[in-house]
Amino acid sequence: MPIQPALFETHEIRRVYDETSETWWFSVVDIIQVLTQQPDYQTARKYWNKLKERLGKEGSESVTNCHRLKLPAADGKNYLTDVATAETLLRLVQSVPSPKAEPIKLWLAKVGYERMQEMADPALSLDRARETWQKHGRSEKWIQQRMTGQETRNKLTDYWTNHDIKKGEEFAILTNIIHQEWSGVSVKAHKTMKGLQSHNLRDHMSEAELIFTALAELSTRQIAETDEATGMAENKVAATKGGAIAKQARQALEAKTNRPMVSADNFLPPGKTLRPKAVKKDGEKK
């Protein structure tokens, strides 16, 4: 399902959640449009381009910390858009003289505070997610499995954080190793298979995919704990071993049911699903 924009007053701020780095990314132009109080999006975009050029010449880290991800536009299509974290946006706001600067800062701080609340009490995050899944028609059985899997994921990332693994790229690398090992496809390829773009892959997994993902991540954590894995090299080994355990379980079930467990099915509304591309799995040729 598409992620709903965040609201600042009456303005929609487009955003995307990167599940591998567990980070919210917000549209920079949407924030600039609020700050400059421009009714026209294109004018705000031009303002941002000039500001980005100036900050780039000054060597500002705020610009280098921005990324380009696909976000939905007014025409319903997804386009590459400059995005930044709440932390980076707080620095960018200081470069734009605007009466909206302080309200935006408070709003961004609130976004960060809500995330800190959820980190301190994961139940808050799960409760909010449960309400969203119910609104989108997920079954209670699916929701329970999704929540169980998220708890397993949180325990694994807590271990990584405490054993010299950095959030962001290193989280993403290890997550992809686990996923590739158990499913036979990378996270990106699995999303392509399902016709997903700026969506959370786990929100579009089948019950079986959620179970195997949880098994792989549970196995990875327990192996890492047993081996006292620290740093990327040792945790890569644990990730490969953990994913392999779930892979064996998947292949055993597929042999008994004669049905693939890695599916192209998703929960996108009718007419929104992209045509899935052929994806190589378990070393097979396309």
Identify the H or E element spanning 141.
Answer: helix 140-161
Give the tokens for residue 154.
């949180």
Distances (CA, A) of 88 to 49, 58, 63, 113: 16, 16, 9, 15
Average pLDDT over residues 151-156: 92
Q: How confident is the model at residue 101 (pLDDT cuts 50, 70, 90)?
A: confident
What does the domain layout of the chain look like in residue ranges?
6-117, 138-257
Measured distance CA(248)–CA(254) in Å, rounded = 10
Q: What is the pLDDT of residue 205?
A: 95
How large is the average pLDDT for residues 11-39?
A: 84
Strand partners, 17: 24
Question: Among 98-102, 126-130, 239-243, 266-270, which stretch is predicted with the lowest mean pLDDT?
Answer: 126-130
> What is the structure's pLDDT at 126?
63
Strand 23-27 and strand 11-13: the pairing is: unpaired
What's the mean pLDDT when you consider all of the chain? 85
| Tokens 């598409």 belong to residue | 2
> What is the amino acid identity at position 36?
T
pLDDT band at 283 (very low <50, low <70, confident <90, very high): low
Tokens of 218: 């549970």
Which pLDDT score, from 0 to 100, does residue 4 have? 67
- 231 burial type by CB count under 10 A (0-12 exposed, 13-18 middle, 19+ buried): exposed
